[in-house]
Chains A and B, each alone.
Chain A
């Protein structure tokens, strides 16, 4: 393995990505809205809500069926709390948020890969790279490592921000940091890398068929769909992220990811890439 050459390619791709507004804006806005503003506002509202207030009572009665049918494992967790606001807070951020959160690594890796695969084609910088003294495999690995690692890092940083924001807004009335547990740990270490890989793998596939960053970006967004379905599944109370569910979701994502990345590797051949330039 020509590590120095690979590192040069990774550095180049990330440096170039950092210059693109079309990439940076979603990379900043999505986590900001999803993991800072949304939980921040939600946390503040809940912190100031009175458990006996009309809003809470109404909310509770309207979502009655939903709350009555929570999975046992979740109900056990809720026993530690003694008022409705705490329970609603817990359910909100442990049941609805994980799937929403998973959008972040998918999206981040996806949009970065759009720039370094399709964008590179569009900018016509691929040709010189193909003449470099690397094997096809080294070149492919170098091209996927950047977006993958960046997607994971952004996912982790996003989680950190999420924890800080929620701690700041809810610790006073929750009494504990309720979004750091085994489930979240599994999510972070097992599912986030797979999710970033899925966003990347889908983009590798899309990029070989389109010629501009914009096209790739739009088509690539379609991989976010299954994640949204997952989210809807939860909203309907179908899926709760218990450790077991997290392991299974992660495994499914890994299978998809490795399939896509492997397929991409098989198609990443100099001769074909240059003929399609």
Chain B
């Protein structure tokens, strides 16, 4: 069990009639960036709370770093860092005070506190305004400070609950770099709750998809593509004046679906690989000049939507966001 950073088996937690987490089982390896995806109310935050012993499970087993969150909470929490959904900063205090207090709380060696705090402020681009009260910070700055706080004591497992919400693309990119760095170079484990699929696809070794408290799929983004078996989308570029002719050729082939004509290219989906050379032959035969025919990588978003549709069909989920 200790070989896994996180191990969950059959964990359930209810709030009244709501099943926030329903018979959840999963393991996360040391050094892995694990994506935890799900709609609003899927149970992501609840899971993070359970894993840190801040909330008790109704049933099931949890271990983080080989420790039981319920009985060994303080020892465990000393080795985890959590970015909560709301930054949870003391807005009446300066950034330095906010971090210094948490350095003490997490037991950062006394003689290292000053250095560590200023390094974190530097890393997250807050040095210049470190003496200001956090209440005057922008949303993105608060988010960065909260992130700095969760990395401050160099935790073995880092839980990030939507780390890039509220950040501009550049800042989000920096956070992604940071996550990659702590995982690849420092061997820390990252448990990343998000509904940003691009983010998950870019960063995560594996992802789990949650729907209303239960796990609907888990694996590498690639594995999920296979599992869902969605059609591949292709992009076809032809001369502008030949678009209509190309469209006519495509529509004669029933295997090609979801055909759309854009300004610069046509897109369509196909689940049969052989349809590609067939199409190309027909286009050439029709005298159409093909500039490009490229498969588009299936995005996690496609998988996610497909999974969601599948759950809705099964009748498990009411559909949409509650």
Contact = CB atoms under 8 A, between A and B. Distances in A.
A131 B90 contact: no
Nearest to A12: B101
B106 interface: yes
B92 A132 contact: no
Residue of A11, A16, A130 with most partner-chain B CB within 10 A: A130
Interface in A1-52: 2, 4-5, 7-9, 11-12, 15-16, 19-20
Interface residues of A, number: 29
Residue of B15, B77, B90 with most partner-chain A CB within 10 A: B90
A19 B92 contact: yes
A175 interface: no
Interface stretch (A71-79, A120-128, A178-186, A259-267): A120-128
A7 B54 contact: no
Contact of A8 (B75, B104, B146): B104
A133 B90 contact: no
Interface string A71-91: 000000000000000000000
B105 interface: yes
A130 B104 contact: no
Contact of B107 (A16, A130, A131, A133): A133
Contacts of B80: 131
A12 B93 contact: yes
Nearest to A115: B92
B144 to A, nearest CB: 15
Contacts of B49: 274
B86 interface: yes
Nearest to A9: B105
A15 B86 contact: no
Contact of A274 (B55, B74, B77, B78): B55
Interface residues of B, number: 32
B15 to A, nearest CB: 7
A134 interface: yes
Given A127-B84, A128-B149, A133 B105 contact: yes
B45 to A, nearest CB: 10
B89 interface: yes
B183 interface: no
A271 interface: yes
Contacts of A135: 73-74
B82 interface: yes
Contacts of B199: none
Contacts of B9: none
Contacts of B101: 8-9, 11-12
Contact of B97 (A9, A15, A20, A133): A15
A124 B77 contact: no
Interface of B: 15, 49, 52-56, 73-78, 80, 82, 84, 86, 88-93, 97, 101-102, 104-107, 146, 149
Interface of A: 2, 4-5, 7-9, 11-12, 15-16, 19-20, 123-135, 270-271, 274-275
